Homo-oligomer: A and B are copies of this chain.
Amino acid sequence: MMKFETYGDYAARTRASFDRQAAMRSMGIRIDDLAPGELWLSMPFNEGFTQQHGFLHAGVITSAMDTAAGFAAYTLMPEEAGVLTVELKSSFLAPARGQRFNFHARVLKPGRTLIFTEAVATAIDGENPREIARMTATMMVVQGRAGVTG
């Protein structure tokens, strides 16, 4: 396991920035836990964010994995920096069927400008957790906050 360097009270800063994401609030997604270079989110099943067959929408799963990965990267950034998603790729391994969804992201490789990340989505269907999606994403460290897309 990599040992990551952090700056100041990274945890409070990360939670505060997450709380400014209206999209996460609207989708009912919240932080379960965080650590240097890692973040855990969860979301109860939400009928308002399903696709045509009643499962959670692939874009919503991607939204949660993107946010998890972006803030996992953010935990390692200097105090004045912002985070931007350069690109992401999601693979959908199984139908998003379940009562609850967990999202775990981690930093694969930190850098001064770019941070490589990975995320996994798990559905809890009754007793059984099942991996339903995986993402890799490149995050950019933006000094100042101009031009940040999140």
A91 touches B149 (CB 8 A): no
Identical copies in the complex? 4
B150 touches A55 (CB 8 A): yes
Hey, which chain B residues are within 8 Å of A86, CB to CB? 86, 91-92, 114, 138
Hey, which chain B residues are within 8 Å of A134, CB to CB? 108, 116, 118, 136
A48 touches B60 (CB 8 A): no
Measured between C-beta atoms, what is the minimum distance from A75 to chain B in Å?
Answer: 14
- A47 CA to B5 CA, complexed, in Å: 34
**Residue from B21, B82, B145 within 8 A of A57 (CB atoms):** B21
Hey, which chain B residues are within 8 Å of A108, CB to CB? 91, 93, 131, 134
Q: Mark out the residues of chain A between 53 and 102 whose CB falls within 8 Å of any chain B CB in the assembled complex.
A: 53, 55, 57-60, 62-67, 82, 84-96
